[in-house]
Copies of this chain bind each other. A is one copy, B any other.
Amino acid sequence: IGDDAAVVRLPAGHRLLLTTDLLAEGIHFDLTTATYEDLGYKAAVANLSDIAAMGGTPRHMLVAMALPADRTVSQIRRLYGGLMKACRQHGVALIGGDTSASRGGLFISVTLTGTAPPGQVLMRDGARVGDFIYVTGTLGDSLAGLNLLTAQRRKNPPRYERTLMNRHLRPTARIAAGQTLASRGLATAAIDLSDGLSGDLAHLCEQSAVGAEITATALPLSPACRAYAAAHRVDPTRLALAGGEDYELLFTVSPKNRATVDRLAHEAPYRITSIGIIRPKSFGLRLRDEEGSLKKLTISSYQHFQNPPTVRS
């Protein structure tokens, strides 16, 4: 910081991974449901999760912000505090920051580098017919949490509601899981769940030119998500399929590595669940429902630009 560009040194021979995100107020985040610290934390995790999905080690973060004139120094300090908190957990150095004015809401641009040894990078295009489909953690918690945050809030929310809101505001990037899968050559393809299972599975299958069959009863649901679904009479399977911003990893495993991954799953401090199988492209994306019948998998995840805001600038 202080020069025109940051100068960094990378491990010899490693590949450089680069990811960037531009987050817009009123589109990607809303400061009525999140604090500035939450926002910073989540902006960092969204990028950390991209590096996790590649199996890399996150290294350096650059942040640029455009700030409306009504924001205070204390708010911006809390935003950076959230960014740095998430970075510290993964040994990431915040090496550049830039702020300028904005006439239209707060915008945050985060760029993150990562590194990985050659041949140990997870891509989206390696899934093959017969591979098993896995996810880390549980699905749908973030969407349930968002629903709770945007609804009329209770004064003393039950514990499961607090769990879900926290999962939405403070997600976890699965860095260690991605590194293990990449360094041991256990995954044929991987993607992080930012758009939701159905949408991100569609991305992975498109890049790999394959189809997929997902088993509804296999989808990992947290007790909190089940409690929310029961209380609000919603189908938890739909939350798991459509819910964005879980930041779990979706990955595919060839039959010969299945036993190894299942062994790892037993040792991991979070769930690693087999939820389906890769099928030929002509099969498309299908869901085996609770009754055992196959139906088309609806891609219901949120796509920012295909749902433009109704409020014009």
Please report A residues at the B interface, Cβ cutoff 8 Å.
2-10, 12-13, 15-22, 24-28, 49-51, 53-54, 56, 60, 62-70, 95-96, 98-105, 107, 109, 111-114, 116, 118, 121, 123-125, 191-192, 207, 304-305, 308-309, 311-313
Contacts and interface: CB of A to CB of B under 8 A. Distances in A.
Contact of A51 (B5, B12, B28): B5
B3 A123 contact: yes
| Number of copies of this kind of chain in the complex | 2
A246 B13 CA distance: 37
Contacts of A111: 18, 20, 62, 109, 111
Nearest to A2: B207
Contacts of A66: 22, 24, 27, 107
Contacts of A124: 2-4
Contacts of A67: 305
A11 to B, nearest CB: 11
A22 B111 CA distance: 11
A18 B12 contact: no
Give the one of A5, A8, A309 with max B CB within 10 A: A5
A192 B95 CA distance: 19
A309 B69 contact: yes
Given A20-B98, A20-B111, 20 more contacts: A3-B53, A4-B49, A4-B192, A5-B114, A6-B18, A7-B17, A8-B16, A10-B16, A19-B96, A20-B64, A20-B109, A24-B107, A26-B103, A68-B313, A69-B308, A99-B305, A102-B105, A103-B312, A103-B313, A109-B111
A24 B68 CA distance: 11
Contact of A27 (B103, B121, B192, B305): B103
Contact of A22 (B53, B64, B68): B64
Nearest to A124: B3
A308 B101 contact: yes
A179 to B, nearest CB: 14
